[in-house]
């Protein structure tokens, strides 16, 4: 950051657990994973003609229409029913599963099914929005569909099935935050919203080491140059590419200006019960087209972060370890509030069941049109009362700076409840959007003392 280089980091894959985001530093661009409009699915056709849709990246083609279907718990001579139903290592009897499709109650049963010579595998789903590569023909099904297979198994003396090759379908709900993508709130600095934005990270075609199998299974002898993978480590390179795109268009911009440009031009995402809103996707889904024309940017310098550390109560020794210089804290800096860092988003944790008034101070730099006027508009579905002063910002030149304040009034938030809104500055051709998040919480998401 001090050298003008923007660092981007994966949010982590511990979602949807609240507060699991692993990248928390405000100078780092924290990237969540979201879906694309392409989903990879697979289908199993049961002997009774019923077709069930599941997930997998299955390139195998079974030659035939029907193959014997067996449940793992009935295909073992060595293990108890529970272990056999889960297809634990060493449980499946080769003579009972060879040439058959085996149903396992554990997703890891795919390895045992392959070892025992099964023709295919039907497995429980671990993440509904991800398709895994399997070492044999197979797919993952939701619990209700898995139960449908079991009911069919019990309804006939000669159950059979066929697993088809995977296919790609259009996903009109995209982009949605991946279930595995780590969520906020920020466990270290509660008033800095993390993650910052989301990028494609589900079922991504990516380069792959040709010396490894795509399933990491020693019994899988396939070798590929490209594979389909999911994770925030797939999303982060997409966002880094957007950052490079913005840097190429504006080589003189600071790291914080590039970060701001990407965040304030991101596509707004739908808040669903499963997504946890801005704690899942931050400012939204990155948009490389609009990111190079943000209009206004929120900039920060190294000194702003030093002041943040002072306000958080960091010792001079610890601040110098981080900064690499002889920085120290003035008395005024010790009173700095984290929420007053000139960040492109706004977040605040408040005490539950109490009234609150919160004020954010921000400064924007004009990088759009020299002579322009931006007007503020609040978009909110919550009970928050939000006021922006001033409501208009007029610029006469590029790189001119203007400051404003956002005051939020509310009351009676319950524990872990989240209220959100957004502030949009618009001059008619640019829309500069900042999410606003207020949430009720206890002391488990506080910082400095415990963290240090």
111 and 244 share a domain?
Answer: no
**Domain assignment present for 323:** no
Q: Is residue 327 part of a domain?
A: no
Q: Are residues 76 and 137 in the same domain?
A: yes
Tokens of 116: 């025992």
Do 150 and 228 have their domain in common?
A: no
Answer yes or no: do 76 and 112 share one domain: yes
Residues 221, 345, single domain; the answer is yes
Q: Are residues 18 and 63 in the same domain?
A: no
Domain C-terminal end among 151, 170, 189: 170
- Note whether 398 and 281 are same-domain residues: yes
Q: What is the pTM of this model?
A: 0.91
Convert the pLDDT of each residue in 394-410 to its tens digit: 999 999 999 999 999 99
Whether 128 and 250 map to the same domain: the answer is no
Over the stretch 19-71, which tens digit does the pLDDT of each residue have? 999 999 999 999 999 999 999 999 999 999 999 999 999 999 898 789 999 99
Q: Which of 40, 51, 48, 38 is nearest to 163 (CA)?
A: 51
* Residues spanned by the domain of 385: 7-37+178-300+341-451
Which CATH number is 393's domain given? 2.60.40.2310
Flag whether 345 is in a domain. yes
Total tally of structural domains belonging to the chain: 2
Same domain, 292 and 431: yes
Residue 1 lies in a domain: no
Q: For the segment 167-197, what is each residue's pLDDT rounded down to a tens digit?
A: 999 999 999 999 999 999 999 999 999 999 9
Same domain, 47 and 148: yes
């Amino acid at each position: 950051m001090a050298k003008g280089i923007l660092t981007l980091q994966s949010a982590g894959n511990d979602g949807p657990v609240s507060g699991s985001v692993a990248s928390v530093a405000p100078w780092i661009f924290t990237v969540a994973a979201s879906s694309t409009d392409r989903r990879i699915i697979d289908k199993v056709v049961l002997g009774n003609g019923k077709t069930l849709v599941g997930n997998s990246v299955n390139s195998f083609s079974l030659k035939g229409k029907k193959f014997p279907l067996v449940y793992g718990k009935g295909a073992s001579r060595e293990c108890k029913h529970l272990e056999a139903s889960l297809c634990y290592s060493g449980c499946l009897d080769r003579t009972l599963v060879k040439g058959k499709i085996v149903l396992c109650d554990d997703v890891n049963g795919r390895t045992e099914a392959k070892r025992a010579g099964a023709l295919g595998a039907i497995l429980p789903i671990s993440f509904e929005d991800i398709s895994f590569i399997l070492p044999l023909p197979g797919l993952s099904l939701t619990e209700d569909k898995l139960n449908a297979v079991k009911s069919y198994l019990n309804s006939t003396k000669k159950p059979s099935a066929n697993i088809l090759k995977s296919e790609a379908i259009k996903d009109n709900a995209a982009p949605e935050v991946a279930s595995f993508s780590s969520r906020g709130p920020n466990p270290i600095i509660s008033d800095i919203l993390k993650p910052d934005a989301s990028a494609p990270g589900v079922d991504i075609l990516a380069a792959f080491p040709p010396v490894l199998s795509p399933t990491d299974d020693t019994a899988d002898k396939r070798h590929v140059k490209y594979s389909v993978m999911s994770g925030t480590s797939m999303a982060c390179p997409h966002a880094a590419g957007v950052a490079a795109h913005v840097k190429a268009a504006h080589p003189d911009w600071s790291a914080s200006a590039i970060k701001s440009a990407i965040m304030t031009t991101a596509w707004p995402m739908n808040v669903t019960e499963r997504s946890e809103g801005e704690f899942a996707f931050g400012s939204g889904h990155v948009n490389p087209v609009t990111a190079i024309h943000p209009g206004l940017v929120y900039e920060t310098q190294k000194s702003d972060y030093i002041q943040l550390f002072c306000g958080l109560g960091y010792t001079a020794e610890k601040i110098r370890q981080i900064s690499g210089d002889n920085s120290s804290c003035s008395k005024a800096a010790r009173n700095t509030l984290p929420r007053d860092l000139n960040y492109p988003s706004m977040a605040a944790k408040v005490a539950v069941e109490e009234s609150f008034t919160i004020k954010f101070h921000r400064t924007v730099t004009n990088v759009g049109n020299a002579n322009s006027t931006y007007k503020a508009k609040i978009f909110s579905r919550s009970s928050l009362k939000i006021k922006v002063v001033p409501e208009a910002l007029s610029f006469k030149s590029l790189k001119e700076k203007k400051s404003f304040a956002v005051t939020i009034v509310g009351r009676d938030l319950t524990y872990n409840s989240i209220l959100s809104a957004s502030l949009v500055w618009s001059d008619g051709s640019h829309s500069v959007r900042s999410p606003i998040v207020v949430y009720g919480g206890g002391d488990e998401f506080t910082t400095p003392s415990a963290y240090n």
